[in-house]
Structure 1
Amino acid sequence: MSWYDAKPWLASYDEQRAAASEFTPTTPLVTFRRTVGQAPETTALAYFDGRISYRELDELSDAFARHLTASGFGRGDRLALVLQNIPQFVIALLGAWKAGGIVVPVNPMYRAGELSHVLSDAGVKALVCSQTAWHDYVGALVPDSSVTIAVTTSELDLQTRDDERVLGKVRREATPGAADLLEVLRSTPGDPPTDLGLGLDDIALISYTSGTSGKPKGATNTHGNLGTNAVILAGAGRVEPGATVFALAPLFHITGMVCEVAYAIEIAGTLALAYRFEAGVVLGALLEHKPAYMVGPSTAYMALMAHPDVTPEHFASFDALYSGGAALPPAVVNAFRDRFGQYIHNGYGLTETTAGCVVVPSGVEAPVDPASGTLSIGLPVPGVIVRILADDGTELPFGEAGEIAVEGPMVVPGYWNRPEATAEALPGGRLLTGDVGFMDERGWVYVVDRKKDMINASGFKVWPREVEDVLYTHPGVREAAVVGVPDEYRGETVKAYVSGAPGAAPDPDELVAYCRERLAAYKYPRSVEVLAELPKTTSGKILRRELRARG
């Protein structure tokens, strides 16, 4: 037995987390039906001033399932969801599963070419999108695609507040060629759909990766992946049943799917939605809904911290705040705790691990590696084995950096119609993440960086996160990203991009000198460029590849 098979992190579990190690695999629909039976009148979805109970959500998703079935949609067919954080997303998600379908969540920021690839690659038969997206580009793609069932909806539905900050430009529009979701739900009465008995190994989602190398690939998240990981994450947490979960992360992202939708259903709680991220809208929603749990990228927390109206009261209701999807600098954690009295717990996961697989336990503060200043991403969650591997696949001892590999019940079986990619990334069911990291002797895991982001400066390895963590300690810096740019003498050299903290105007030369004092000579950035905002994905991850393209 290897060192990792001995699971040294178990000694770091507290009693509650150890108890969570005993879990029963399940599926989201099994959990949902249990929750509907136990708490039918509990609010399932809160959207501005709109409220939908679990009983109503069950009835609405039943109606959508009946519509799909009557339209020729059957078991294993694919339905694409191109929606922001609105109740219709959850209604359509559950309805598609009840009809036996596989959901393809699509980033609503995709443009025509990106969506066209997903529709073709997944062989999508049904699609639900906003009325605006239909008129912008989706409607024009459908006739030449495999889609035969098209449904649209308005973000103005199921609420009456019409907050101008996020809904000010939304208009209700007719969508010839597509049915209206609310009309569909009202016009399809009948008995509950037949339980098709979807099992642990049936595919629930085809979640497309960001496509950093070539076309995006569809990870096949099973019903067992989703349902079981929600059980594990909820069981190891400190959030009371019936609590409110605020959807800071987008629902289409795997974090939103598991750590928001499935998590809220698992605890029979309320999922509070606010369409899309806008710092002022989010802060107002936190005061209104008083959530106990929230997870989102570090960049979202930075934006909330920078808002002029933010106060400790906005975060007073929380039992647990989590960050995932983007690196969490220790300086941000410390500043947030100092200002608001709340600790942001780190977490780590990928689309291929169906969200979190390494998490800082609730109520515990993650250690910081004294050598690099890197904040730990946490301990492997119950049921998971994490290994650190050398380039030749051999296991490395604790403290040595290598590729992070993950095994557990949340790891996907593969990629949709990509056997070669599956064999490369998931040999024997073990996920090779592409992230470089190490584990200490207590089982705490640390991410150094992505393999592909390593900078080679005159033969020396420079990991961007180490430089970024130093920049985040400067009071004038709000966001930071470090990339390698071509250099005739060094091959590559280090360049930093930053955005300023509220009221600050960072001086590039000062930031270079600041880093020079705190880093080895080959690591500090030779140039710094200040931008108003750094480019990010809709899930909040800073896009280093776009910054590299700037040069």
Structure 2
Amino acid sequence: MRPGRKVTPLTFDSLVQAWHARTDANPQQVALRYFDGAMTAAEVDRASDALAVALWETGTVRGDRVGLYLQNVPHYALALLALWKLGAVPLLLNPMYKHTELRALIDDSGAVGIICADTDVAETSNTVANGTVRWLISTCARDFQTENDPRAFPEKPAKQETDAVASAVADMVTLIRLHDGQAPDPITLTRSDLALLSYTSGTTGPPKGAMNTHGNVLEVATTFGAWAGLAPNDVVLAVAPLFHITGAVINCAISLITDTTLVFTGRFHPEIVLEAFPRHGVTYTIGSITVFNALLELPHAGTGHFASVKTLYSGGAPIPPVTVERFRDRLGAYIHNAYGMTETTSGVIAVPSGTVAPVHEPSGTLSIGRLLPQMTARTLDAAGSPTLPGEQGELELSGPQVIPGYWNNAAATAETMPGGSLRTGDVAIIDDLGWVYLVDRLKDQINVSGFKVWPREVEDALYAHPCVHEAAVIGEADAYRGETVVAFVSLKAGTHATETDLVTFAKDRLAAYKYPRSIHIIDDLPKTETGKIRRAELRGKGHS
């Protein structure tokens, strides 16, 4: 047992201290599962100690940034813990990023190393050559399990020519074996030390590095865990991508610092994820609504798959009420809304576990929840003055979950977080009971003949059509109206509807200035890697 005082989660000074408290309390609890593989908390602690020593031998020290360029595999959790034990900073890298996208984040962060899949070593090495990266560590998706499900695991890559960085490539599992039984020298971390460097998606300009501190992560993991009703022996499924703040904090970190089991299934595959629920007795997860739509579309999915579930959350984009109803009616589980940003270290507004969210009657919008403890919010008008309860305005958030700023970007910090409060760019309504309703993004508002139209309201109306799988609404220039409402939809498999059918359906449910004058049926809507629909990519396509 490590010496020290007894602490409660909110008094931990760092994620390392929280992890040690969890491990000391119940070292034999299974901490990680991956198909047929399992690791106890003690085994994870020993492996991450060994990896920390290996990283230290590369010259990685406190404050260094190290890129995690991985899918949802056990290596991710081991790397997070190892880096935190050194006081180093995990840099969350989207494994879909290639070449200039990846290099831009490496150069901006000054990363000294990258941990990536063996299938990506050659390309990654060439991409980061002649920069700050000194070493690469490779991982194999087949590690830590023996099933080798062909749906999940790629073949081993053929050896490819790489640049000079490849000379510093080593395999993670090999390094752990080489240093088994060794541990790094303990360091003292504070809540203000950086725990993660996570870049924004860049939808409103170049990506900015959010400096998520140990205090930020502890606050969110602790408050969200209590909000979601997480308890000892619960089973957490890592569905949200771990390279995104939601997956890193309220799928991964939330499980590591509580006496729960974290289940990995690799990159999202609907059938594998569906099977993981009954196989591992999953009780909690959070994912984008596209994940739950994909599960709902599986013809063999049924209530039995979700029998163990206590709480499901969806984050990244608000959920239309009809989607929640369809999921619950068919699969027996209620999807709770949650809201957060990279700058709030993920979820800070959520529907309490076991509570059905209210619907805002004037707009038909499903509430994204209520404020979590320690978080405060208000809505502001265009002049920056607070609006009255029930009136819409830009959502402003304050609390210990909000980051101290952006990496090497004082100007963006001052603009987005004046006085330490976060101007979210989202338009919201907060009612007298504290329920928050997200209207839309400020930049996505459509002005039709002087009337304001929010895409969310039109999209929610379209989702009520039995054939619509996904919908996105944009404004396009119109000589008569200024802007006109245009929609793009994809249809559910095996269904049929014409564009005229959908326009008529929407016209019957919306004011004359709100319904889309044209609707385009396409196979799939463009999305970010975390499942958010990219409205911006649809602009101009209605005329192509």
Residue pair 1:25, 1:228 contacting (<8 A) in 2 also: no
Aligned mates of 1:343, 1:170 — CA distance in 2: 40
What letter corresponds to residue 296 of structure 1 in structure 2?
Answer: G
Query: Which residue does 2:31 correspond to in 1?
Result: 44
Residue pair 2:9, 2:222 contacting (<8 A) in 1 also: no
What letter corresponds to residue 158 of structure 1 in structure 2?
Answer: F
Equivalences for residues 485-500 of structure 1 within 5 A? 485-500=476-491
Matched, 1:87 2:87: no
Matched, 1:131 2:118: yes
Please point out which of 102, 111, 117 is paired with 1:115: 102
Matched, 1:162 2:148: yes
Please point out which of 322, 343, 349 is paired with 2:334: 343
What letter corresponds to residue 132 of structure 2 in structure 1?
Answer: S
Residue pair 1:467, 1:482 contacting (<8 A) in 2 also: yes
Q: In the TM superposition, what whole-angstrom CA distance separates every residue of 1:449-470 from its partner, at most 9, and x where no partner exists?
A: 0011111222221100000000
Query: Which residue does 1:360 correspond to in 2?
Result: 351
What letter corresponds to residue 20 of structure 2 in structure 1?
Answer: R
3-state SS of paired residue (1:167)? coil
Matched, 1:463 2:449: no
Q: In the TM superposition, what whole-angstrom CA distance separates every residue of 1:108-131 from its partner, at most 9, and x where no partner exists?
A: 111111110000000001110111
Aligned mates of 2:444, 2:101 — CA distance in 1: 24
Query: Which residue does 1:379 correspond to in 2?
Result: 370
3-state SS of paired residue (2:466)? coil
Please point out which of 496, 515, 530 is paired with 1:524: 515
Aligned mates of 2:130, 2:419 — CA distance in 1: 38
Query: Which residue does 2:445 correspond to in 1?
Result: 454
3-state SS of paired residue (1:271)? strand
Query: Which residue does 1:12 correspond to in 2?
Result: none
Question: Structure 1 regions of 5+ residues with no counterpart?
Answer: 1-20
Query: Which residue does 2:130 correspond to in 1?
Result: 144
Aligned mates of 1:173, 1:92 — CA distance in 2: 25
Matched, 1:318 2:304: no
Matched, 1:194 2:180: no
3-state SS of paired residue (1:382)? coil
Equivalences for residues 18-97 of structure 1 within 5 A? 23-24=10-11, 26-97=13-84
Aligned mates of 1:408, 1:195 — CA distance in 2: 30
Aligned mates of 1:189, 1:296 — CA distance in 2: 35
Residue pair 2:139, 2:173 contacting (<8 A) in 1 also: yes
Query: Which residue does 1:333 correspond to in 2?
Result: 324
Query: Which residue does 2:206 correspond to in 1?
Result: 215
What letter corresponds to residue 208 of structure 2 in structure 1?
Answer: K
Residue pair 1:207, 1:220 contacting (<8 A) in 2 also: yes
Aligned mates of 1:143, 1:358 — CA distance in 2: 41
Query: Which residue does 2:91 correspond to in 1?
Result: 104
Q: In the TM superposition, what whole-angstrom CA distance separates every residue of 1:95-148 from its partner, at most 9, and x where no partner exists?
A: 11111101101011111111100000000011101111122x211023221001
Equivalences for residues 413-452 of structure 1 within 5 A? 413-452=404-443
Change in CA separation of 1:343 and 1:491 when aligned onto 2, cut-off 3 Å: same
CA displacement at 1:266 relative to structure 2: 2.9
Change in CA separation of 1:357 and 1:274 when aligned onto 2, cut-off 3 Å: same
Aligned mates of 2:338, 2:488 — CA distance in 1: 25
Aligned mates of 1:308, 1:113 — CA distance in 2: 40
Residue pair 2:47, 2:180 contacting (<8 A) in 1 also: no
Aligned mates of 1:68, 1:507 — CA distance in 2: 58
Query: Which residue does 2:361 correspond to in 1?
Result: 370
CA displacement at 1:169 relative to structure 2: 4.8
Q: In the TM superposition, what whole-angstrom CA distance separates every residue of 1:330-367 from its partner, at most 9, and x where no partner exists?
A: 00011111112221111100000001111100111111
Residue pair 1:243, 1:267 contacting (<8 A) in 2 also: no
What letter corresponds to residue 81 of structure 2 in structure 1?
Answer: L
Q: Does 61-70 or 78-87 show the bigger shift?
A: 61-70
Query: Which residue does 1:474 correspond to in 2?
Result: 465
Question: Structure 2 regions of 5+ residues with no counterpart?
Answer: 1-7
Change in CA separation of 1:493 and 1:362 when aligned onto 2, cut-off 3 Å: same
CA displacement at 1:543 relative to structure 2: 1.1
Residue pair 1:464, 1:481 contacting (<8 A) in 2 also: yes
3-state SS of paired residue (2:185)? coil
Instruction: Using CA pairs under 8 Å that are at least 6 residues apart, name the structure with larger relative contact order, 1 or 2.
Output: 1
Q: In the TM superposition, what whole-angstrom CA distance separates every residue of 1:4-40 from its partner, at most 9, and x where no partner exists?
A: xxxxxxxxxxxxxxxxx99445432111111111121
Normalising by structure 1, report the TM-score.
Answer: 0.94
Equivalences for residues 214-253 of structure 1 within 5 A? 214-253=205-244
Query: Which residue does 2:3 correspond to in 1?
Result: none
Residue pair 1:45, 1:51 contacting (<8 A) in 2 also: yes
Change in CA separation of 1:269 and 1:549 when aligned onto 2, cut-off 3 Å: farther
3-state SS of paired residue (1:480)? strand
CA displacement at 1:191 relative to structure 2: 3.5
What letter corresponds to residue 237 of structure 1 in structure 2?
Answer: A
Aligned mates of 1:281, 1:191 — CA distance in 2: 36
Aligned mates of 1:312, 1:172 — CA distance in 2: 43
Normalising by structure 2, report the TM-score.
Answer: 0.95
Aligned mates of 1:213, 1:22 — CA distance in 2: 35
CA displacement at 1:199 relative to structure 2: 0.8
Q: In the TM superposition, what whole-angstrom CA distance separates every residue of 1:26-56 from its partner, at most 9, and x where no partner exists?
A: 4321111111111211111111111111111
3-state SS of paired residue (2:378)? strand
Aligned mates of 1:491, 1:34 — CA distance in 2: 60
CA displacement at 1:490 relative to structure 2: 2.2
CA displacement at 1:528 relative to structure 2: 1.0
Residue pair 1:425, 1:433 contacting (<8 A) in 2 also: yes
Query: How many matched pairs?
Result: 530
Aligned mates of 2:223, 2:304 — CA distance in 1: 30
Aligned mates of 1:106, 1:286 — CA distance in 2: 27
Query: Percent same amino acid at aligned positions?
Result: 46
CA displacement at 1:187 relative to structure 2: 1.2
Q: In the TM superposition, what whole-angstrom CA distance separates every residue of 1:47-102 from its partner, at most 9, and x where no partner exists?
A: 11111111111111111111111111111010000000001111111111111101
Aligned mates of 1:65, 1:373 — CA distance in 2: 51
What letter corresponds to residue 128 of structure 2 in structure 1?
Answer: V
Query: Which residue does 2:174 correspond to in 1?
Result: 183
3-state SS of paired residue (2:524)? coil
Aligned mates of 2:444, 2:48 — CA distance in 1: 43
Aligned mates of 1:486, 1:442 — CA distance in 2: 39
3-state SS of paired residue (2:379)? strand
Query: Which residue does 2:288 correspond to in 1?
Result: 297
